[in-house]
Amino acid sequence: VVVTRIGTAGVALVFAAGLWLVAAPFALGYQPAGAGWTGATRTDVIAGGLLAVAGFAGIFAVIAGRVSELYANPRPAASLAAPCTGRADGRNTGS
């Protein structure tokens, strides 16, 4: 479970790094507003866009794979409900 979470976090980090690369030229100001894109800006936006798309697809695939596994091997309702009993009770009492 831990390694799966680490992997999922890594994919999310890739997605975040892509977004950062796209936004970095404009956020840090080395791309002047109203001017044409410099080489650095073009590189960052293209690489960041690819990484963001790949990271998004990766996150989507990981979640979809996990959901399909759950559908393939559904755990009994009791095992799913057992760990959440306390929270559910608290939520119910709270509401």
Partner 1 sequence: MMTRYLSGLCVAGLGLCGGGWLVVAAVAFGGLDGGDADRVNLATGAGLMVVCCVTAAAWAAAWRRRMRADGVLGERFAPVSRRQARRNRRELKRDVRRAARSAKRSAREARRRARRFPRRADGELGGLGGLGLGGGSFGGGLTGTGSLGSGLSGGGLGEPRGWIGGGRTGHAPHGTGREGPVPAETGRIGPEPAGPEPTGAKPEPGGGGPEPGGAEPEPGGAGPEPSGAGPEPSGAGGADTVPGRACPSAEEVLGQLRALLGPLLNDAGGEPACPPLPRRQPGQERPQIPRRQAGQGEGGAAEPATELAAEPTDAPAAAPAGGLLDGDQELLNLADSEEAWW
- Contact residues: partner 1, CB under 8 A: 3-4, 6-11, 13-14, 17-18, 20-21, 24-25, 28-30, 38-41, 43-44, 47, 50-51, 54-55, 57-58, 61-66, 68-69, 72
Query: Distance from first CA to last CA of the chain, Å, rounded?
Result: 32
What span, in angstroms and rounded, lies between the C-alpha atoms of 48 and 89? Answer: 45
CB of 76 to partner 1, least distance (A): 19
What residues contact 88, with CB distance under 8 A and at least 6 apart?
A: 81
Shortest separation between residue 56's beta carbon and partner 1, angstroms? 9
Place of tokens 């393939």: 72
Smallest separation (angstroms) from partner 1 to the CB of 84: 24
Structure tokens at 95: 């509401």
The residue among 5 and 87 lying less far from partner 1, judged by its C-beta, is 5
Q: Evaluate whether 16 touches 39 at the Cβ level (below 8 Å).
A: no
Nearer to partner 1, 42 or 91 (CB): 42
* Residue 19: CB minimum distance to partner 1, A: 11
